[in-house]
Amino acid sequence: MAKKVAKKKTAPKSKKYVYFFGEGKADGRADMKNLLGGKGANLAEMVNLGIPVPPGFTITTEVCTEYYDNNRRYPSALKGQVEKALARVEKIMGKNFGDTNDPLLFSVRSGARSSMPGMMETVLNVGLTTKTIPGLIKKTNNPRFVYDAYRRLMMMYSDVVMEKAAGIEPKSDHDAVRHKLESEIERVKKKNGYKNDIDLTTDDLKALCKKFKTIIKNTLGEEFPDDHMKQLWGGIGAVFQSWMGKRAVSYRKIEGIPEHWGTAVNVQTMVFGNTGDTSATGVAFTRNPATGENIFFGEWLPNAQGEDVVAGIRTPNPVNEIGKTDDTRHLPSLESNMPSLYKQLHAIERKLERHYTDMQDIEFTIEDGRLWMLQTRVGKRNGQAAIRMAVEMAKEKLINTNTALMRVRPEQIDELLHPSVDPVAEKKAKQLAKGLPAGPGGAMGQVVFTADDAEAWAKQGRKVILVRNETSPEDVHGMHAAQAILTAKGGMTSHAALVARGWGKCCIVGCSELEINVKKKTIDVNGHTLKEGDWVTLNGTAGRVYEGKMPLMPADPENNKWYKELMKWADKVREIGVRTNADTPNDSTTARTFGAEGIGLCRTEHMFFDAARIKAVREMILSDTEEGRRNAIAKLLPYQRDDFKGIFKAMAGLPVTIRLLDPPLHEFLPHTEKDIKELARDMKVSLKKLKARNEALHEFNPMLGHRGCRLGITYPEIYEMQARAIMEAACELKKAKVKVIPEIMIPLVGHVNELKKLRELVVSVADEVQKKHKVKVPYTVGTMIELPRAAVTADEIATQADFYSFGTNDLTQTTFGLSRDDAGRFLPYYVEHGILADDPFITIDQSGIGALVKMAVEKGRKTKKDLKMGICGEHGGDPASVEFCYNVGLNYVSCSPFRVPIARLAGAQATLKKKAKKRK
């Protein structure tokens, strides 16, 4: 059968694997990112916009996918398509690849859908061989430039193509081919007393190139290829190899990028920023990516190749006058050095931002007075900048407010809420060093020198600051694990700065006073020596480094006008309520300033741990008579009443859900001999008796033991006291004209009869208290849905409940049948190995726990159409869970005070996403 079908098929017209761009015409477009990768799609778009881009072609991501599906073999049509595109570029440029008189050179650039550290670095100057070099020297009349380009090609190519892509793992950093080649340059510089690479003469470079070939052969066991086609295909292959490289795979895992996306390869005509003083290169942002300010912001270097700015080998200059700071005041700007080119660049930058309606991160090169754009993409920004840009762009009418709301990731709000170094302490402290403020916020930690150490130390629960000369994609895992990143080299657009900003991490780069000795694990800085494990404090907002620990201050979002505006827009759009989990008047007040619309969970047991109260609590637990319990409880009542009064006052006019006692009693028991003795004396019982009672309360599995409403059923006087304290507080405040909305919540209900019984108890106490005070306070009685049985019988339970609150922490534990406290032994492994996509305690497991929630919502509302429902588990502050809660029809989410702003934005985005889906 199959054979027949195969026979009938005529040779299919082969797929388009190669997309050309150049001279005002491109096969691709910006919206073809999936196929062409971000870089390729945007290069095509720029060409179509009439912006000068060196011509070239993009090999699609489908080739990558097919390559891996086919045992690492290219589709057969690829070669022909590449050759055709090559010929087209050659025609435009009037030069040929591999030509001995006037050779065309290429860069080979990787490009996934979104930029990805860990992918192959770009290889520049592909096509330089012993055959093409003489021609290029003759043509340019600049042998120094040619040999410089050649040694760069060898460095990049041997590193990324011959070593990394080939899967060769150097024994140590020092054995890596790149390190060896760099050391060789350093050696020559030192020998001749040169300070900069620019000081190297033509002869030096020529000799270096020769030496490089030997080093490469000796290190990697293979000759550096002396054939232009071999170089090109080597580069293309390396890009595809790097997709499955260790670093790329690890980054994809962190960012949740699927493997099947693949990467594209861009082959592009080389333009040179290093031919002399009329050439330059730079990286810029259409707005400041650290502050969000609407000012064209960038860095450039005269007579340099693009990688020099990105790699941070030389400290770059500010692109314009307005971007200068006290530290860069003395440096030349492109604006003053090449005014007409700057003007042209500025116009392109404006055009790009208007076209893409978002901040762009651009790369450019000037070759002999001619400007070329090499890249544009939506620029990474920290939370602060994301919020400011979104709001300002909406005000400029570049985007609408809904788009502005979608532009800020809810987690980015978190950065605004992050601590900063206490300014008072900072004023007094002596600064150790200063660098560039690449990622704002304050951080404190112990110095480590390698990414692996950072990861290992952080795994042990230590706070570390990763200190490097400069970072590279290999360091990503350590950067992720560190509190902050500090580098001695690099500018605001260096790798470290970009990555840190993307994560909203505190980061200082270009801190040139640091003399880092990675081998000895020391930093010499201004006469001090820091060792591994020493504490440092960083002010990433100002770029200042301090020795030792300094107090960090909480953030101050209330004084950020852009944040406030954005939140206003969010609240207008948002349909799901946002409450907070708070146990004290203090937390309640904080949460209100963050915008909480009520308390979704007030845990009364936290009030029991206070030193003055714990004795009465223990007395209550350890009495074996009702009378004894009632005596102890009577002592607790006034405390609880005052607690509730404080919270009610702080939340005046907003609902407050109070959960009656929930945890297993043994959590309150005395553990030390001394405590037990003291208690026996106070209770006037024998030590022996008390000890016996103490032991009798021991449970094998407290999480599933005598807790929650089971306590209320067996010791009704406890819940009775709590209900009384709540209602007395409410009545007293009502009389003082404070509006109070108490919602009394019974935990851990599994059967409707439990709730029925306890509801009767609460109602009878509440009625009695109201009668006594001669006021009426509307109150409700509801329950938590946190056991699978409660979810399954939510229709029955609803007959006894005024509201439901999903306790998704316990619901996750009881549905998965795992205890969170013990899950540390296996859950991280599950997530790491993809058995579970996410930790179900961080984001709701939608298909499992979520299905139960959905069922309970539907069943509950079948019984009571308007049954109010919310969620009070940890998940209430997780953006994906907020969206889920909104979609299943919950009335509110409740989360810790500091997550409230995140939930507000996530809630608004959930509404917008649903509306967008409906329109489709």
Q: Supply the residues annotated as catalytic.
A: 495, 872
Structure-token pair, residue 270: 């080389």
CA dihedral over 591, 593, 596, 599, signed as positive or negative? positive
159 interacts with ligand ADP by CB under 6 A = no
Which of 53, 155, 270, 872: binder of ligand ADP (CB under 6 A)?
Answer: 270
Pick one of Mg ion, ligand ADP, none as the site partner of residue 365 (Cβ within 5 to 8 A by kind). ligand ADP
Reduce the DSSP state of residue 24 to 3 states and report it: coil
Please identify, using beta-carbon distances, which residue of 297 and 546 lies nearer to ligand ADP: 297
242 interacts with ligand ADP by CB under 6 A = no
- Smallest distance from ligand ADP to CB 35, Å: 18
Please identify, using beta-carbon distances, which residue of 271 and 620 lies nearer to ligand ADP: 271
Does residue 123 come out as left (phi exceeding 0), alpha (psi in the -120 to 50 range) or beta?
A: beta
Please identify, using beta-carbon distances, which residue of 119 and 416 lies nearer to ligand ADP: 119
Which of 271, 573, 654, 761: binder of ligand ADP (CB under 6 A)?
Answer: 271
Pick one of ligand ADP, Mg ion, none as the site partner of residue 660 (Cβ within 5 to 8 A by kind). none
Which of 61, 81, 96, 122: binder of ligand ADP (CB under 6 A)?
Answer: 122
- Smallest distance from ligand ADP to CB 80, Å: 23
> How far is C-alpha 380 from the geometric centre of its chain's CA atoms?
11
Pick one of Mg ion, ligand ADP, none as the site partner of residue 306 (Cβ within 5 to 8 A by kind). ligand ADP
316 interacts with ligand ADP by CB under 6 A = no
Please identify, using beta-carbon distances, which residue of 284 and 660 lies nearer to ligand ADP: 284
Sequential DSSP letters for 807-845: -HHHHHHHHHT--GGGGGGTHHHHHHTTSSSS-TTTS--
The residue among 383, 386, 438, 387 whose CA lies nearest residue 414 is: 383
Under 8 Å between Cβ of 713 and 758 = yes
Pick one of Mg ion, ligand ADP, none as the site partner of residue 268 (Cβ within 5 to 8 A by kind). ligand ADP
The residue among 584, 583, 579, 581 whose CA lies nearest residue 596 is: 579
54 interacts with ligand ADP by CB under 6 A = yes
Instruction: Output phi, psi for 605, to 5 deg.
Output: -65, -25
Please identify, using beta-carbon distances, which residue of 73 and 91 lies nearer to ligand ADP: 91
Which of 96, 129, 242, 375: binder of ligand ADP (CB under 6 A)?
Answer: 375
Please identify, using beta-carbon distances, which residue of 156 and 762 lies nearer to ligand ADP: 156
Q: How far apart are the first and last CA of the chain?
A: 41
376 interacts with ligand ADP by CB under 6 A = no
852 interacts with ligand ADP by CB under 6 A = no
Under 8 Å between Cβ of 127 and 107 = no
The residue among 647, 658, 645 whose CA lies nearest residue 600 is: 658
96 interacts with ligand ADP by CB under 6 A = no
- Give CA–CA dist 305/122, Å, rounded: 12
- Smallest distance from ligand ADP to CB 242, Å: 11
307 interacts with ligand ADP by CB under 6 A = yes
The residue among 805, 857, 764 whose CA lies nearest residue 657 is: 805
Which of 306, 742, 840, 860: binder of ligand ADP (CB under 6 A)?
Answer: 306
Helices 61-69 & 228-243 angle (0-180, nearest 10): 80
Which residue number has the CB closest to Mg ion?
810
CA dihedral over 562, 568, 572, 573, signed as positive or negative? positive
310 interacts with ligand ADP by CB under 6 A = yes
Under 8 Å between Cβ of 546 and 540 = no
Q: How far is CA 360 from CA 46, 356, 379, 783, in A?
A: 12, 8, 5, 50
The residue among 604, 603, 602, 582 whose CA lies nearest residue 593 is: 582
777 interacts with ligand ADP by CB under 6 A = no
Sequential DSSP letters for 716-735: HHHHHHHHHHHHHHHHHHHH
Please identify, using beta-carbon distances, which residue of 107 and 813 lies nearer to ligand ADP: 107
807 interacts with Mg ion by CB under 5 A = yes
Which of 374, 508, 726, 869: binder of ligand ADP (CB under 6 A)?
Answer: 374
Please identify, using beta-carbon distances, which residue of 363 and 426 lies nearer to ligand ADP: 363
245 interacts with ligand ADP by CB under 6 A = no
Q: Which residue matches tokens 């509404």? A: 911
- Give CA–CA dist 729/733, Å, rounded: 6
The residue among 452, 413, 534 whose CA lies nearest residue 895 is: 413
Q: Which stretch in 237-245, 266-274, 360-368, 681-689 sits in contact with Mg ion by CB under 5 A?
A: 360-368
Reduce the DSSP state of residue 464 to 3 states and report it: strand
Please identify, using beta-carbon distances, which residue of 251 and 892 lies nearer to ligand ADP: 251
Q: Which stretch in 245-253, 305-313, 441-449, 828-836 sits in contact with ligand ADP by CB under 6 A?
A: 305-313
Total Cβ atoms within 10 A of residue 50: 10
- Smallest distance from ligand ADP to CB 116, Å: 8
107 interacts with ligand ADP by CB under 6 A = yes
Pick one of ligand ADP, Mg ion, none as the site partner of residue 807 (Cβ within 5 to 8 A by kind). Mg ion
Biggest CA pair distance of the chain: 106
Pick one of ligand ADP, Mg ion, none as the site partner of residue 786 (Cβ within 5 to 8 A by kind). Mg ion
| DSSP character at residue 59 | E
308 interacts with Mg ion by CB under 5 A = no
363 interacts with ligand ADP by CB under 6 A = yes
Reduce the DSSP state of residue 543 to 3 states and report it: coil
471 interacts with ligand ADP by CB under 6 A = no
Q: Which stretch in 51-59, 184-192, 529-537, 804-812 sits in contact with Mg ion by CB under 5 A?
A: 804-812
Reduce the DSSP state of residue 534 to 3 states and report it: coil
Which of 125, 317, 375, 813: binder of Mg ion (CB under 5 A)?
Answer: 375
Structure-token pair, residue 523: 């930093």
Q: Which stretch in 264-272, 559-567, 750-758, 835-843 sits in contact with ligand ADP by CB under 6 A?
A: 264-272
786 interacts with Mg ion by CB under 5 A = yes
Sequential DSSP letters for 123-149: EEEET--TTTHHHHHHHHT-HHHHHHH
Please identify, using beta-carbon distances, which residue of 442 and 807 lies nearer to Mg ion: 807
Which of 219, 263, 281, 694: binder of ligand ADP (CB under 6 A)?
Answer: 281
- Give CA–CA dist 224/153, Å, rounded: 10
Strands (E) in 548-684, as ranges, are 552-553, 577-581, 599-603, 655-659
Q: Which stretch in 193-201, 268-276, 510-518, 707-715 sits in contact with ligand ADP by CB under 6 A?
A: 268-276
Tell me which residues in 834-863 interact with Mg ion (CB under 5 A): none
Does residue 527 come out as left (phi exceeding 0), alpha (psi in the -120 to 50 range) or beta?
A: left
Total Cβ atoms within 10 A of residue 338: 22
Pick one of ligand ADP, Mg ion, none as the site partner of residue 109 (Cβ within 5 to 8 A by kind). ligand ADP
- Smallest distance from ligand ADP to CB 98, Å: 17
- Smallest distance from Mg ion to CB 176, Å: 22
Pick one of Mg ion, ligand ADP, none as the site partner of residue 494 (Cβ within 5 to 8 A by kind). none
**Residue 736 burial (10 A CB sphere; 0-12, 13-18, 19+):** exposed
Please identify, using beta-carbon distances, which residue of 204 and 810 lies nearer to Mg ion: 810
Amino acid letter for position 276: G
| Number of shown-chain residues binding ligand ADP (CB under 6 A) | 18
Total Cβ atoms within 10 A of residue 758: 24
Which residue number has the CB closest to ligand ADP?
306
Instruction: Output phi, psi for 908, to 5 deg.
Output: -65, -45
Structure-token pair, residue 207: 């000799």
Pick one of Mg ion, ligand ADP, none as the site partner of residue 815 (Cβ within 5 to 8 A by kind). none
Q: Which positions touch ligand ADP (CB under 6 A)?
A: 54, 107, 109, 115, 122, 124, 268-271, 281, 306-307, 310, 363, 365, 374-375
Q: Which positions touch Mg ion (CB under 5 A)?
A: 363, 375, 786, 807, 810
